[in-house]
């Protein structure tokens, strides 16, 4: 059920700063403080929360981060 709701929000927010990092997480790039490398890796958010990045979402996430942060 959560999956279906996140899919709807992901579509609604596709043109914004939100990106799907994992099947359970939709993340606002404005609150990402650090990407921690790993198989999928993880994100450290501005509130101190660390969330896992799925292997399948990693490439898209990193591309979106590069565009957002202008690496």
Q: Give the Cα separation of 34 and 29 in Å (integer).
A: 10
Output the tens digit of pLDDT for each of the chain's 71 residues.
556 789 999 999 988 999 999 999 999 999 999 999 999 999 999 999 999 999 999 999 999 999 888 75
Q: Three-state SS for 1? A: coil
């Amino acid at each position: 059920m959560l999956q279906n709701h996140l899919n709807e929000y992901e579509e609604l927010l596709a043109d914004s700063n939100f990106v799907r990092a994992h099947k359970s997480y939709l993340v606002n790039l404005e609150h990402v403080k650090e990407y921690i490398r790993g198989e999928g890796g993880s994100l450290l958010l501005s509130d101190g929360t660390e969330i896992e990045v799925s292997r399948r979402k990693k490439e898209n996430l990193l591309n979106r981060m590069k565009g957002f942060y202008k690496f």
